[in-house]
A and B are shown apart, each in its own frame.
Chain A
Amino acid sequence: MRDVAVISFAQAKNVRDAGAVNEVEIIMPVVAEAIAQSGLARSEIDFTCSGSSDYLQGAPFAFVMALDGAGAWPPISESHVEMDAAWALYESWVKIQSGHADSALIYGFSKASSGKLREVLNLQLDPYCVAPLGIDSVSLAALQARALLEKSAYSEKDFAEVAVRNRANAKNNPKAQLAGDYSVDEILAEPCLVSPLRKHDCAPISDGASVIVIAAGDIARRVCKRPAWIRGIDHRIEPHSLGARDLTVSASTRLAAEKAGVNQGPIDIAELHAPFTHQELILRDALQLKDDVEINPSGGALAGNPMMTAGLSRIGEAASRIISGQANRGVAHATSGPCLQQNLVCVLEGE
């Protein structure tokens, strides 16, 4: 296996509505910032891979337009995943492992404000028997939350505690969309949005973009004082049928964590892509995180959840704390699909 590290991370400010700017205008300054910070020139980066969804953009092959933001001249080696860009990072990591590249630029973006996100996400469901019912992403998450309350010792108070901590952590994140001081009692006094979930249990709808640069061994050491080495990375998926899964646990996260070697060493920080508070509890258990692990120092997806890149941002947030020396070994997680259907786990470590 080749040593590969995250050497740079940048993200746009997460906002509810980026207004009249287009995707290219959102991406471009973030790409420029990440490249400048990486210490590599654009021409020195071998591979480019992005994550986005045409359904969010409302145009076919919309990711091709976004290339304007990444700089594709002289012609570049490029790929795209119709998934969170955390999976674009995985593809890039595989590309480097295969010896076909030594460095890669990964970006993800979305402007959910262009459409109605809850309706768009309905279309990822089984088109014959589930999608026509019109059930949306928040309702499905609520179904999962209810199952968790019934089956486990967790209560709505535990959900609220997750919200309080993430919102408070987000105060130190200048890119956060939602941050602030709340109390558990305050949150529990609020009405349910979709029972048992309250507004604070749900990630906001966000426009945004994030960018990571990764590089192999010597290149990473040359340009970065303290690279965040990817010690393990794995992703697993569960059946499409919601009825075929136990929604109260995350078997795919547990398996990916085992393959990535999460518990082969002490973990300082975890950045978990949990768009709903109860999902953070499920993920914590699946990853078997100890009580002393600092979870979502950035505020997590509850602080800002740009689709197709909030997962990549979790890797970036964990990596940047290792690069800066604040943490030594961290785990980052990304999710895709309804109710944590697909999960990616990445273990990062300093030297």
Chain B
Amino acid sequence: MSEPITQIVTPTSLDYTFTAGGATERFLRGLKDGKILGQRCPKCQLVIVPARGACARCGVPTEDDVELADTGTMTTYTIVHIPVPGSDVKPPFVAATIFLDGADIGLFHLVHEVSLDKIRPGMRVKASWKPQEDWGFSLTNIRYFVPLDEPDVDVTELERRIAHA
């Protein structure tokens, strides 16, 4: 009996020129200048972030750019105890959905510099930006969000507004 062939190697590689799209490109350029850009849907009026050029709910183009604050309210979260490959943020840290002030869709980001037993929905947070000289076309210009010394926001009220939009 001859040896079974268990594998052969056939190297394959494909190169792509990936295009983010018009709206997302403006969003990424905005980050380079320290701005967070969302877009207002002409139909449901919700402000979507990151700007995608489309309202995922209505399936209509969004053209109206809206600059958002770098402060917001944390809704849901999880505490991550294992390191994330390629990330400088040391565990444990918080991965959270953050409703930036002026936005109607949660942005996914990290929350840090917070004692973990104090984490709660409705907490106010603010972006902690990298030094300006390190800014690129990336949401990682914001290292993470940190707690803001402000009263909590009623999350159920926030979520109800969006559900009924």
Q: Per a CB cutoff under 8 Å, which of B18, B25, B52, B55 touches A58?
A: B18
> Which residues of the other chain, A, contact B14 by a CB distance below 8 angstroms?
55, 58, 115-116, 119-120, 123
Q: How large is the interface on B (under 10, 10 to 19, 20 to 34, 35 or more residues)?
A: 20 to 34
> Which residues of the other chain, B, contact A42 by a CB distance below 8 angstroms?
59
> Which residues of the other chain, B, contact A132 by a CB distance below 8 angstroms?
10
Query: Which residues in window 98-125 of A have CB below 8 A to B?
Result: 111, 113-116, 119-120, 123
Q: B57 and A25: CB pair below 8 A?
A: no
Q: Does B53 contact A (CB under 8 A)?
A: yes
Task: Select the residue from B8, B18, B23, B24 with max chain A CB neighbours within 10 A.
Answer: B18
> Which residues of the other chain, B, contact A28 by a CB distance below 8 angstroms?
53-54, 59-61
> Which residues of the other chain, B, contact A24 by a CB distance below 8 angstroms?
21, 52-54
> Which residues of the other chain, A, contact B80 by a CB distance below 8 angstroms?
none
Per-position binary interface string of chain A over residues 126-146, scored 1 when its CB falls under 8 Å from any chain B CB and 0 otherwise: 011001100000000000000
Q: Per a CB cutoff under 8 Å, which of B10, B55, B60 touches A127?
A: B10
Return A150 CB to nearest CB of chain B, in Å.
31
Return A142 CB to nearest CB of chain B, in Å.
22
Closest residue of chain B to A56 (Cβ to Cβ) is B16
Measured in the bound complex, the distance between the Cα atoms of B58 and A100 in whole Å is: 24
Return B23 CB to nearest CB of chain A, in Å.
8
Q: How many A-B contacts if CB must be within 8 Å?
A: 82
Measured in the bound complex, the distance between the Cα atoms of B52 and A19 in whole Å is: 16
Closest residue of chain B to A55 (Cβ to Cβ) is B14
> Which residues of the other chain, B, contact A116 by a CB distance below 8 angstroms?
14-15
Return A214 CB to nearest CB of chain B, in Å.
18
Q: Does A189 contact B (CB under 8 A)?
A: no
Closest residue of chain A to B44 (Cβ to Cβ) is A73
Q: A22 and B24: CB pair below 8 A?
A: yes
**Residues A72 and B61 in contact in the complex (CB < 8 Å), given A22-B21, A123-B12:** no
Per-position binary interface string of chain B over residues 4-36, scored 1 when its CB falls under 8 Å from any chain A CB and 0 otherwise: 000010101011111111111100000000000
> Which residues of the other chain, A, contact B114 by a CB distance below 8 angstroms?
none
Measured in the bound complex, the distance between the Cα atoms of B23 and A22 in whole Å is: 9
Q: A21 and B10: CB pair below 8 A?
A: no
> Which residues of the other chain, B, contact A31 by a CB distance below 8 angstroms?
59
Q: Does B89 contact A (CB under 8 A)?
A: no
**Residues A58 and B12 in contact in the complex (CB < 8 Å), given A24-B52, A68-B52, A71-B58:** no
Return A304 CB to nearest CB of chain B, in Å.
20
**Residues A29 and B54 in contact in the complex (CB < 8 Å), given A20-B22, A22-B21, A114-B16:** no
Closest residue of chain B to A57 (Cβ to Cβ) is B16
Q: Per a CB cutoff under 8 Å, which of A25, A72, A113 touches B56?
A: A72
Q: Does A338 contact B (CB under 8 A)?
A: no
> Which residues of the other chain, A, contact B60 by a CB distance below 8 angstroms?
28, 32, 71
Q: B19 and A20: CB pair below 8 A?
A: yes
**Residues A114 and B19 in contact in the complex (CB < 8 Å), given A28-B61, A55-B14, A72-B59:** yes
Return B57 CB to nearest CB of chain A, in Å.
3
Query: Which residues in window 32-64 of B have CB below 8 A to A?
Result: 52-61
**Residues A25 and B54 in contact in the complex (CB < 8 Å), given A20-B22, A128-B8:** yes
Q: Does A69 contact B (CB under 8 A)?
A: yes
